[in-house]
Structure 1
Amino acid sequence: MHREPVKERERIKPPDVLNYPFEPPKADGSHVEIAPGLLWLRMPMPMTLDHINVYLLRDGEGWAVVDTGLGIPRTFELWEQIFTEKLAGQPLTRLICTHCHYDHAGAAHWLQERFDVPLLMTYGEFMMLRSLMGPPPDPMPQSHCDFYAKAGVTDEELGVMVSAMRKDPFMPKHPHSYQRIRPGEVLQIGERKWRVVLGEGHSPEHACLYNEAEGILLAGDQVLPRITSNVMVTPIEPEGNPLKYWMDSLHRLRELPANTLVLPSHQGVFYGLHERLDQVREHHEQQFDLIKEHLLEVGKASAAELMVVLFPRLRGPIDRLMALGETIAHLNLLKHAGVLLRQSGTGKIEYFSLA
């Protein structure tokens, strides 16, 4: 079961110490030139997070595309408009998707078919896109039902969440082929070289692209300026520890220069990479503290009970599903670190307590 998760709102909003050197483009086919041969555009999304940033990189006589937008008619219309008006018929040379979530790769199938371009992704992201970007299985496997029961979710609550997932209107058509890119690989795109920097946790093998000569990072969802990406455990890998991999990714990205210009997938282009990475790390440390403080007070709690502690304001069943997965990611990290114990309770429910 997989769906593009909502990005998590931060409980404590730090002062904005970031520098935004460009006004963002409207989500109507407009663009901002970040540097010669590097264009920033936006695609609209009919949801709370109402846009995704996409980028065009000059590539010889044509243009490479980084991320796609949702696989919906409005996205296709805008790409046609961009191709006809902005690019004046210059060809698209290749499509690069940072990761599998459908705001980033939802129009990949259409772009491949329409413009006859190769799709570049990491192996893990392409396989996730091909195998798991779709509605939940029907009927739900017993192991999936058990996963949610252990977390403290009732059958009725699970039914509401799964029903909402099955009504998701944005599930994409799957691309049929791709070219694999690997961490550390250098892509020559026009006159620029871009090194693939691996991100993990939000998705399995997220590809950021770093241009060392000009200090530019195409960051995807690994670094966002004002929201933090969802990092969740799912019934596919119930003992997974994605939040550890996410935190490790923050350390890797902090090795890049502090004056790097960050081109994220949502919100504004900014300077302040190290400051933002520190804010995200501190945010998750605050979440860990909330869990430990609550368990010190009540003794033990299920994942569903702790979800309410971390995410007291949720908008609906999809938010609850994503928030539960992220709560379990925090719990699994603390359990693997020896901070928490997990034990069986009544029925199938499992409870966490301080070690």
Structure 2
Amino acid sequence: MTLHFPITTIPGPGETLEVAPGILWARLALPFRLNHVNVYFIEDDGGWAILDSGISNPETRAAWQALLDGPMAGQNFTRLIITHHHPDHIGNAGWLCEKLGIELQTSAGSFLSFLNLAQAPAALEFDPHTRFYARHGMSPEGSKLVSTLGLGYLRMISTPPVSYRRLRQGMELRIGGRSFQVLTGDGHSIEQVMLYAPSDNLFLAADQVIERISPNISVFASEPHANPLGDYLASLGQIRASVPEDALVLSGHHRPFGGLHRRCDELAEHHVERCDLIEQACAGAPKSTNDLVPVLFSGKLDAHETSFAFSEALAHANYMVEQGRLRWIEEADRLMLERV
């Protein structure tokens, strides 16, 4: 089955678009190459539940005000559901919860990660982070740039609420007249929340399955031996087993689409191809993680894009080490990868 796009229009700034009965779609701008994030309003008992909040900056708060003064004027809001802890999804959550007087609902992994980012933003610039990049082949100048400007988006968050309601894998979440099955998946982020409504065959997929792009799969200095790519591929299998192929997929970015299983297969194949490219690159001589960035990503990258590209290259490397296809060796105080 090929992907298909049953909704042909996209909401403009300050607009909402009904994508299913009682579900409204809006877009908020982002200051990156991926220039928007999707948020959704789900009809609830006594008002509307909100899914995701956008990044924390003045432009996003102005965009929210335009929605609240425009298509959502006079509406009551019941809760804020956050899919995961990345700032383009959770960043504005504290501001929104306080402004609307609503409860935050998310996974434990997302909430604790939110707290960590909010309470120790300067930790990203500590020496262990810059040494982490340098150890994997980045220049001292590049290491400093990536750990400051490159990770600056992680600071674009509001003060978190003091409490939240936890969403868990396998629970049933009632929102208005609908019953949603809660799925959680790792890889793109820890314990990312997804919601499936069997009665309407609707799948709110967050960033785990998106049309056109693959979500970033990253390894950071805080967990240098993590295998998020293995976690992500396992999550795609779980989604295939839990949600029908013909569900309407509402993602965190880009358009609603149908053809879920096909897209899961495409995403898995994409990562297989990237692993093959890395293996070929390491066949002639050992390579550092930094050496692998241009193997996977062409063109000039700014500091923000370099941080994502480096972290994704390392995620593929760690996955292949666990597979037994590559191994780490040390050369002149740098970690290098060689083919087994």
- TM score, norm. by length of structure 1: 0.90
Distance 1:136 1:333 in 2: 29
Distance 1:249 1:214 in 2: 22
Q: Given the alignment of the two structures, is residue 218 of structure 1 paired with residue 190 of structure 2, yes or no?
A: no
Partner SS, residue 70 of structure 2 = helix
Q: CA deviation at 1:85?
A: 3.3
Q: Given the alignment of the two structures, is residue 272 of structure 1 paired with residue 295 of structure 2, yes or no?
A: no
Structure 1 residues 162 and 139: CA distance shift in structure 2, 3 A: closer
Q: Given the alignment of the two structures, is residue 184 of structure 1 paired with residue 166 of structure 2, yes or no?
A: no
Q: Given the alignment of the two structures, is residue 65 of structure 1 paired with residue 55 of structure 2, yes or no?
A: no
Q: Which residue of 1 aligns with 2:20?
A: 35
Task: Render the CA deviation track for 1:169-208: whole Å, top value 9, x for unaligned.
Answer: 9611231221111011111000001111111111010000
Q: CA deviation at 1:301?
A: 1.1
Q: Which residue of 2 aligns with 1:114?
A: 99
Greater helix content: 2
Distance 2:228 2:279 in 1: 19
Distance 2:282 2:151 in 1: 34
Distance 2:102 2:217 in 1: 31
Q: CA deviation at 1:138?
A: 6.8
Q: CA deviation at 1:162?
A: 2.4
Bigger drift between 117-126 and 160-169 goes to: 160-169
Amino acid at match of 1:119: L
Q: Given the alignment of the two structures, is residue 241 of structure 1 paired with residue 218 of structure 2, yes or no?
A: no
Q: CA deviation at 1:136?
A: 4.5
Q: Which residue of 2 aligns with 1:75?
A: 60
Amino acid at match of 1:47: F
Amino acid at match of 2:247: T
Indicate if the aligned counterparts of 1:339 and 1:354 stay in contact, CA closer than 8 A. yes
Amino acid at match of 2:177: E
Among 147, 152, 155, the alignment partner of 2:137 is: 152
Indicate if the aligned counterparts of 1:135 and 1:171 stay in contact, CA closer than 8 A. no
Aligned residue pairs total: 337
Q: Given the alignment of the two structures, is residue 206 of structure 1 paired with residue 192 of structure 2, yes or no?
A: yes
Among 193, 213, 218, the alignment partner of 1:232 is: 218
Partner SS, residue 334 of structure 1 = helix
Structure 1 residues 33 and 166: CA distance shift in structure 2, 3 A: closer
Q: Given the alignment of the two structures, is residue 193 of structure 1 paired with residue 173 of structure 2, yes or no?
A: no
Distance 2:21 2:124 in 1: 49
Q: Which residue of 1 aligns with 2:159?
A: 174
Ranges of 4+ aligned residues in structure 1 off by more than 3 Å = 133-136, 165-170
Q: Given the alignment of the two structures, is residue 258 of structure 1 paired with residue 238 of structure 2, yes or no?
A: no
Q: Given the alignment of the two structures, is residue 292 of structure 1 paired with residue 292 of structure 2, yes or no?
A: no
Task: Render the CA deviation track for 1:269-326: whole Å, top value 9, x for unaligned.
Answer: 0001011111110100000100111122x23111111222111224212211211111
Q: Which residue of 2 aligns with 1:344?
A: 330
Distance 2:158 2:69 in 1: 24
Q: Which residue of 2 aligns with 1:54?
A: 39
Indicate if the aligned counterparts of 2:150 and 2:305 stay in contact, CA closer than 8 A. no
Bigger drift between 237-246 and 18-27 goes to: 18-27
Q: Which residue of 1 aligns with 2:317?
A: 331
Indicate if the aligned counterparts of 2:95 and 2:159 stay in contact, CA closer than 8 A. no
Indicate if the aligned counterparts of 2:117 and 2:155 stay in contact, CA closer than 8 A. no
Structure 1 residues 215 and 167: CA distance shift in structure 2, 3 A: closer
Structure 1 residues 222 and 339: CA distance shift in structure 2, 3 A: same
Aligned-residue CA RMSD (Å)? 1.8
Amino acid at match of 1:258: E
Q: Which residue of 2 aligns with 1:313?
A: 299
Structure 1 residues 63 and 196: CA distance shift in structure 2, 3 A: same
Q: Which residue of 2 aligns with 1:5?
A: none
Q: CA deviation at 1:218?
A: 0.5
Partner SS, residue 65 of structure 2 = helix
Amino acid at match of 2:279: K
Bigger drift between 308-317 and 239-248 goes to: 308-317
- TM score, norm. by length of structure 2: 0.94
